[in-house]
Amino acid sequence: TSAEDSHRRLVLAALLQHALVLRDERQVALAVERRALSQRLAAASEKRRKAGGVPELDVALATLQERRDASSETASKGALDADKLALLSLLGLSPQNPLVVGTLVPTGEPPTLAVLLRELAQRTDVRAAAASVDAAKARLSRERAGKWPTISVLAQYERDDRANIGLLGVAIPIPVLNANRANVATAEAEVGAASARLTASRADAEGQLKVLYARYQSTKTAVEALAPAAGIAKQAVDLSTRAYELGESDLGTVLLARREALEAQVALLEAEHAHATAKIELLVAAGRIPQ
């Protein structure tokens, strides 16, 4: 029904917005972490400059990086606040001290595509189309039953002048056959149209599920491929920053490691968000609520 469809769309919008907020929170956490590292880098460069180990340029570059990271942190927090307010508005909740919990990618694995396709008959749009077919067939049955004439048997008995008189007859309306031909033809056309709509609805639902399932699998593969690289990149940043603090590395090496790590972390987070979106859309389309 339209009410069920509206409810499903609202649930989908809320779940997608919730995933966006969780992604924003991860972005804020990464921004805070990067700023803390840049503050360490700026302090180390100043210490090494005073010791005569590095030029003034190192201090300027490290300070510039720290300020850029501070700006990025502020922007990330602003995006989080805006998306959180949008989520609360969707849910009709108060914006005071909002707390959003959960994991970016919903837990658990969805059923296989074969299982989801077998469950297509439970979708709202498919159920509605199937109900239309049933209603059209019921009307056709009634119209077909009404095309046959009602035959009446007449009997009469009289006694007149000691004579027994009996009459027996059959009353048949004209036309004898196909008295309801037009209505039957109309009902048959309605059955055909309703059946065509049901076939189209099933085909559309099947195509949608196949597309969503393919997207779910591709985004899952992307996350699995990027996860190890992001961890290695973060470790490289920690090691290079520590080496710079100890005077065992130059600033260029640290900044290069930071840039590579940032790209890897952003790529992983975006891949996880894309995977979360694909998984949510797949589950909702299949009539399931993500956990």
The 10s digit of each residue's pLDDT in 21-72 is 999 999 999 999 999 989 999 999 999 999 888 899 999 999 999 999 999 9
Query: The tokens of 201 are what?
Result: 């609805």
CATH code of domain 110-147+181-291: 1.20.1600.10
Express each pLDDT in 127-180 by its tens digit.
788 888 889 888 888 877 766 666 677 777 676 666 777 677 766 666 555 556
Check residue 181 and give its pLDDT.
Answer: 77
Contacts with 62 (C-beta within 8 Å, 6 or more apart), sequence order: 38, 41, 42, 44, 45, 46, 251
Which of 191, 178, 58 minimizes the C-alpha distance to 132? 191
- Average pLDDT of the chain to the nearest whole number: 85
Q: How many CB atoms lie within 10 A of CB 205?
A: 21
Lowest mean pLDDT: which of 184-188, 259-263, 269-273? 184-188
Q: Exposure of 231 by Cβ count < 10 A (0-12 exposed, 13-18 middle, 19+ buried)?
A: middle
235 pLDDT higher than 60: yes
Alpha-carbon gap, residue 109 to 77, rounded angstroms:
31
Alpha-carbon gap, residue 136 to 229, rounded angstroms:
59
Express each pLDDT in 65-109 by its tens digit.
999 999 999 999 999 999 999 999 888 887 776 677 888 888 888
pTM: 0.75
Lowest mean pLDDT: which of 123-137, 253-267, 271-285? 123-137
Check residue 161 and give its pLDDT.
Answer: 66
Q: Could you tell me the residue ranges of all domains in the chain?
A: 1-102, 110-147+181-291
